[in-house]
Structure 1
């Protein structure tokens, strides 16, 4: 009897990205260029962050996850469980986008808000650094 892989197994095989380059190579033209612009903006705003693939999309870590991004049919999303403070800080700018606690959808028909992306990433880096500094220090063993 022939055993066929499930649809989930097939989909996972198609999206087992090992790098951000590999992820971005699945896009063409303008979408790929926009994703690269988001990537460049994040890297400039968080130069110490490690670039990884998490949940099969690009992510950046600096004392925990800073931000993720992804491409969809009609938009690019910047995502992470954003704090209430971040959402309040950027409330006016975010009002023109579809926003949840965990994602900001930037439509392809509009110019990318590069300056806002940079400032959101810088804000997230500071949040993570403050959270790390607030953690109790472990005593050194002698």
Structure 2
């Protein structure tokens, strides 16, 4: 298991399943992504650069596309979700829609030039 797998294995089953779905969508869009870390969190990386990171906390789950521009580009499709400068927060009961996750990964990948 890699960094992402190790992190997910330590989570509660519902959190693990929700974040695994994010990872599955991301790797479907970016099959060359590799597990690693970025900014101290588990991340998928492309060409050695961070594509997306994920974390779990007691109140929510987060996806980090490491880009305020990417979050801004999908914000209209995430009404009611908690958004930060480079963060999309969601819950097990209210996941980020797959099509929005796919756009996040495509947009971030385009920023990375890959």
Pairwise TM-score range, normalised by the shorter structure? 0.7 to 0.9
1:95 to 60, 63, 79: 79
Q: Secondary structure at the match of 1:27?
A: coil
1:48 counterpart SS class: coil
Per the alignment, do residues 39 and 88 of structure 1 end up closer, same or farther by CA in structure 2, a change over 3 Å counting? Answer: closer
Q: Hey, what does 2:92 align to over in structure 1? A: 108
The separation in 2 between residues aligned to 1:112 and 1:99, in whole angstroms, is 12
Q: Which position in structure 2 is the counterpart of 1:27?
A: 11
Offset at residue 39 of structure 1 (A):
1.2
Q: Secondary structure at the match of 1:61?
A: strand
What SS does the corresponding residue of 1:90 show, helix, strand or coil? helix
Structure 2 unaligned blocks of 5 or more? none
Q: Which has the larger radius of gyration?
A: 1
1:65 aligned residue? 50
Gapped runs of 5+ residues in structure 1? 1-17, 131-142
TM-score of the superposed pair, with normalisation by structure 2: 0.83
Identify, as 1 or 2, the structure richer in strand. Answer: 2
Secondary structure in 1 aligned to 2:36?
A: strand
Contact 1:74 1:108 in 2 (8 A): no
RCO greater where, 1 or 2, for CA within 8 Å and sep 6 or more?
A: 2
Matched, 1:52 2:36: yes
**How far, CA to CA, are the matches of 1:53 and 1:111 in structure 2?**
23
Q: State the Cα distance separating 1:25 from its structure 2 match.
A: 1.2
- How far 1:117 moved relative to its partner? 1.0
Mapped to 1, the partners of 2:75 and 2:17 lie a distance apart of 27
Q: Secondary structure at the match of 2:110?
A: helix
Count of equivalent residues: 112
| RMSD after superposition | 2.0
